[in-house]
Amino acid sequence: MPEKDKGNAGAGRILLAMTGINPRPWYELLSQKRRVATEPEGADDPTIRYAVVWKQRPNLLSKLPNLSAIFSVGAGVDHILSDPTLPDVPIVRIVADNLTQHMTDYVVWRVLDHHRQGMLYRAQQKRKVWHEPPQRPAGDVAVGIMGFGELGRAAARILVACGFRVNGWSRTAQSVADVATFHGEKGLTPFLNATDILVVLLPLTPQTTGIVNYGLLKQLRKRNALGGAVLVNAGRGKLQKDADIVRALEDGTLKEASLDVFEVEPLPKTSPLWNHPRVFVTPHAAATSDPAFLVPPMLEQMEAFERGEPLKHLVDRKAGY
């Protein structure tokens, strides 16, 4: 780590509280504009105004008397809210074009690959098989986006432009052009019954934990243009039951899956998902938080806040996201 504290002495000081990711690039960029510490000077350090966090250590933020806001370096905030000692200050999450674009790329890539039978062609190539399966139009395929927020809606726009039918499921009612929207518990079964490719972009909350289980996958459309239901999860691993996905793949409930997230990460070497011929695995890399793009809007928010403007993209702690 570079020296502990540098940057604009007048502005509110930032505590960089990260575990599991490399804090260095965040430190380098934040400290160009502000004083940044990687450890508070005592549990009740009065100089800390903001915390920029990824899976902060419990108790680290609880006693800081002048902490005004917590900034998540991810779109999800489950890594922050799981701390039972979290102080009651506003939490700002990431909403940024760069991250949204990465997620849209990932979703469209995976949907197109399943639609255009990428798994079949890769298997055929391995065996040097020259065979052309039937081609179906995108309009015969319904993509259901579970978690129809910033990322889900952005992916939907491109999928609609590609010609897919798109369904969206959210907690509260939404109305989006060219998308069939569903919401709440009552809307879940009709949403699943009308979906061929399920794309999961939910946040992890007590309500959504384990939601992608065998019973849910059973409700997807199996007799469809793709020859089976497909799952794409780029939300959070604990939304799904890994063993249920394996079971669903084995008994034909699911045809294929693209998984970016897993119940345990890194995915244990013993997981059958690694070697499954109809599973595409990426290492929680659908939309990486790139500090070069995410630090500038974070610093702008701090400046605006100090001018008296309200913070944007605040987490609703009661809803859990």
Burial of 275 (0-12, 13-18, 19+ CB in 10 A): exposed
CA distance 35 to 42: 17
CA distance 206 to 15: 28
Which residue is catalytic, options 157, 183, 284, 317?
Answer: 284
Rounded least distance, CB 215 to ligand NAP, Å: 16
CA distance 136 to 276: 25
Give residue number: closest CB to ligand NAP: 149
144 interacts with ligand NAP by CB under 6 A: no
Rounded least distance, CB 97 to ligand NAP, Å: 12
Residue from 52, 86, 111, 150 that binds ligand NAP (CB under 6 A)?
150
Rounded least distance, CB 36 to ligand NAP, Å: 24
Burial of 232 (0-12, 13-18, 19+ CB in 10 A): buried
Site mask, ligand NAP, residues 59-88, x = CB under 6 A? ---------------xxx------------
CA distance 47 to 40: 8
253 interacts with ligand NAP by CB under 6 A: no
166 interacts with ligand NAP by CB under 6 A: no
User: Which residues in the 187-246 window bind ligand NAP by CB under 6 A?
Assistant: 201-205, 207-208, 234-236
The 8-class DSSP code of residue 56 comes to P
Residue from 23, 152, 228, 297 that binds ligand NAP (CB under 6 A)?
152
Rounded least distance, CB 196 to ligand NAP, Å: 20
Residue from 244, 256, 260, 263 that binds ligand NAP (CB under 6 A)?
260
Whether the Cβ atoms of residue 207 and residue 234 lie closer than 8 Å to each other: no
The 10 Å Cβ neighbour count of residue 114 is 25
Q: Would you call 284 a catalytic residue per the annotation? A: yes
Packed helices 150-161 and 97-115: angle between N→C axes, nearest 10 degrees: 50
Sheet holding 179-183, edge to edge: 179-183, 165-170, 142-146, 197-200, 230-233, 256-259, 279-281
Site mask, ligand NAP, residues 263-282, x = CB under 6 A? --------------------
For ligand NAP, the binding residues (CB under 6 A) are 74-76, 103, 147-152, 170-172, 174, 201-205, 207-208, 234-236, 260-261, 284, 286-287, 321
Kindly list the catalytic residues: 236, 284
